[in-house]
Structure 1
Amino acid sequence: MQWEELKARLLEAGSARLSGEPADDFIAKSTAGPGAGGKGSVFFAMGGHRVKLALNPASPVEIIHRGDGIADLYFGGRLISGRLLRPGLHCPDQAFITVTGRCIFSCRYCSVPRLSGKRKTVEEIMDLVESVRHRVSTISLTSGVLESIEEEEAYVCEVIDHLKFFGLPIGVSIYPIDHTPDKLRALGVAEVKFNLEAATPDLFATVCPGLDYDLIWRVLDRSVELFGKGRVFSNVIVGLGETDEEMEACIDKLTSHGVIPVLRPLNPVAGCAGQPRPTAARLQKLFAKHSYALSRNGLDTGSALTMCTVCGGCDLVPGRDE
């Protein structure tokens, strides 16, 4: 079985049960997005490839930790030998930090509004990065919205100004307003990710009430002008109810605008609880379309420095999972 097929099947499962030797040092916790508030996740790697799986004692996937990160994955009657990756913060090789762990909006796929998360102080964030400085090569920031989009942007900009001390590339993914890309570029941010989340405006209106789909497109286009092709990304969730044709049209539009899509399989939590995860077959079909669209528009995931495309744990990433 090739890695692409194996990873697609593992992403369809979405989780693993972990046994064997203690593995606390290899468990990552999420405070943002659909995985927030869960039992944690592990990154299983085989060669240069990796996949992130949520911990679930009822999962059909089993990972047995043999000690020191050496691990065996059992799935579908197969044994795959590999290793667990030690996270920096949230994911391997990066200090990926949620600035504010609560949100005034109620996107259906996201658990954060249901949690009583807090905002990290600048000092806390600096200490977190310092604690993993020896094993990370980049800093990535995301955030909820504590009071307003404008106030959150101002606070994240303050955080970035302090984080420049470390001299590492910084990637940022927050909900934007029209001039957010200009402010982030002026602060020396390397890459940005502004998330469409849904493949169509109608679906977006349903799953992200109160937010503006057209605004995100304006901000993405401005970001490409400022940061350049291949330095701008956008999450699009697979499995919200879109057709393959609608998802493919979204991929085509993003890539033709110089934006690298991040196709994120639905994690059925919060308001999406009970919806099925996308199948491995569908993920592979969209992966082929995604790969072709990137190539046709001169985009290369291998040049990414920060955030999800570099990590690649949650998604099939063209150029990294082939």
Structure 2
Amino acid sequence: MTALYSESSSTGRSTGVDVSSLIIDLQSVGLRVEAPVESRRGGAGPSDSGMLWIEGVPVTVPTQTDGPSPYVLKAEDDGQGIYRDGVKLASVATSHRPRFYDMTTADGVPYWKIALLHLDSLASTVLQTCNYWGNSDQCRFCGIGVSLDSGRTIAKKTPAQLAEVAVAARDLDGAVDATLTTGSTRAPDRGAYYVAECGQAVKEASGLPVEVQFEPPHDLAVLDRVHGSGVDAVGIHVESFDPKVLAHVAPGKFRTGIETYFRTWERAVELWGPGRVSTYVILGMGEDPDLTIAACKRAVEIGVYPFVVPLRPVAGSLMEEVAPPTAEYTERVYRKVAGYLEERGIGADTAVAGCARCQACSGINGLQNQLSEGKPLLQIGSRPAAGS
């Protein structure tokens, strides 16, 4: 196995780092911070994470001021760096508080309660309520109600509010796309019509590419209307391909049925095209990895991008105490799925907008880039012991 980084036998100093492996490891064990970093607290999305560019690669990683992580973010004279055992592994640029956060709507709602900037992607949950939340159907990994309960957002964002914020985020902070999601509703469209209406308003006002995310509607004809709104991509998230895991962590999605997701994706790909339909696949919830890899392959074959991510435990969720999966485990799955994506010719560049375009919450894109450049996929391996 190839090590995460090598050391000079004479100096004990780092002679090089594989950035993809470093990112995969950081997203497993986290990063201690001794320097200021913009982060997202609680709720849906990349919660309780620092937002960084590691050697130019956008990344979200769990951050902590103390804890077991061997990695630490330190301030330097000309920036910041990630260190392990006193050895600098990578240079880092951190994001700063977006300027549009200091603005408010005419009726006094702070812009940051309407949408947040995740590195260079504007993101919002347009309906911060979900028919699964607070009952036996609550998704165990989800924190959609946490932000609302803490007063960090509002329950319903209007298309006009989102359009106004999107223009400001584009002009003041360089947002390059918008990702709009929603809690599931009891209506037959599952909230798809409203999030599409919001997406249309954002796209028309700002010109930004937009992805909207929703559950499979009862009638696939809903997808035609969503497509007619002009949004660029859709995310329809199964979360886990293992039915036993899905039944435990997301009972409502389990009742929808994995085959329903596949039927919905097939129609969505017909409308939006290969690579513009995506699904989250969360690792570390007890799933069968071989079953997961096989289902990801099936999704890729029909043109769906399986955005594979490690579990990011959300404070206030039902899985807040569950540890993320190991880097070795996620890397094994990434390696296989990256190969399928490369063979199919879909990736972050074909996604256009949304999580699969941004890639900051996963390490899979780095491995796919290695494949596309004809480089061998390096494996995560042994690392120097502390103090070496």
Which category describes the TM-score, using the shorter chain as reference length? 0.7 to 0.9
Answer with 310-319 or 189-198: which moved more: 310-319
Instruction: Tell me the residue number matched to 2:159.
Output: 122
Q: Is the 8 Å Cα contact of residues 164 and 205 (structure 2) preserved in structure 1? A: no
CA distance in structure 1 between the aligned counterparts of 2:77 and 2:271, rounded to whole angstroms: 46
Q: Could you tell me how far 1:52 is from its partner in structure 2?
A: 0.6
1:255 aligned to which of 282, 300, 304: 300
Distance 2:198 2:330 in 1: 36
Matches within 5 A, 1:34-73: 35=47, 40-59=48-67, 60=69, 61-66=71-76, 70-73=79-82
Q: Which runs of 5+ in 2 are unaligned?
A: 6-17, 99-115, 133-137, 371-388
Equivalent residue letter for 1:138: D
TM-score (ref. length: structure 1): 0.87
Q: Give the secondary structure class of the aligned counterpart of 1:141.
A: strand
Structure 1 distance, partners of 2:208, 2:158, is 20
Q: Deviations over 1:246-271 (max 9, x none)?
A: 12112111111111110110123422
Is 1:110 paired with 2:142?
yes
Q: Which has the larger radius of gyration?
A: 2
The answer as to whether partners of 1:171 and 1:191 remain within 8 angstroms in 2 is yes
What is the CA distance between 1:238 and its match in structure 2?
0.5
Shift of 1:107: 0.5
- Structure 1 stretches lacking a partner, 5+ long: none
- Residues 18, 65 of structure 1: 8 Å contact kept: no
**C-alpha distance in 1 between matches for 2:302 and 2:309:** 19
The equivalent of 1:169 in structure 2 is 209
Structure 1, 301-310 or 74-83: larger mean CA deviation: 74-83
Q: Deviations over 1:264-310 (max 9, x none)?
A: 10123422233331111112111210111112323233332111122
Cα deviation digits, residues 75-96 of structure 1 (max 9, x gap): 3543222211347633122222
Q: Secondary structure at the match of 1:210?
A: helix
CA contact (8 A) 1:43 1:84 kept: yes
Paired-residue identity, %: 26
Q: What do the CA deviations read for 1:32-61 (whole angstroms, capped 9, x no partner)? A: 2472xxxx4322223331321233223423
Greater displacement, 247-256 / 59-68: 59-68
Partner residue, 1:99? 126
Contact kept, 8 Å, 2:163 with 2:205, in 1: the verdict is: no
In structure 2, what is the equivalent of residue 83 of structure 1? 93
Structure 2 residue 43 is the aligned partner of structure 1 residue 16: no
Partner of 2:44: 32
Cα distance in 2 for partners of 1:253, 1:143 equals: 26
Aligned to 1:186: 228
Q: Please name the residue that 1:275 is paired with.
A: 322
Counterpart in the other structure of 1:201: 243
2:247 aligned counterpart, secondary structure = helix
Distance 1:180 1:203, change over 3 A: farther
Of residues 89-98 and 191-200 in structure 1, the stretch that sits farther from structure 2 once superposed is 89-98
**Contact between 2:192 and 2:226, CA under 8 Å: does it hold in 1?**
no
Partners of 1:149 and 1:85 in 2: how far apart? 40
What is the count of residue pairs matched by the alignment? 313
Higher deviation after alignment, 218-227 or 196-205:
196-205
- 8 Å CA contact 2:313–2:324 kept in 1: the answer is yes
State which drifts further: 234-243 or 87-96. Answer: 87-96
Distance of aligned partners of 1:168 and 1:101 in 2 relative to their CA distance in 1, 3 Å threshold: same
Q: Which moved more, 1:184-193 or 1:58-67?
A: 58-67
Q: Structure 1 residues 49 and 149, CA, compared in 2 at 3 Å: closer, same or farther?
A: farther
2:351 is matched with 304
1:257–1:85 Cα change, 3 Å: same
C-alpha separation in 1, matches of 2:42 and 2:318: 18
Letter in 2 for 1:72: G
- Asked if residue 3 in structure 1 is aligned to residue 13 in structure 2, the reply is no
Q: TM-score, normalised by structure 2?
A: 0.73
**Structure-1 residue corresponding to 2:13:** none
* Mean CA deviation greater in 99-108 or 74-83: 74-83
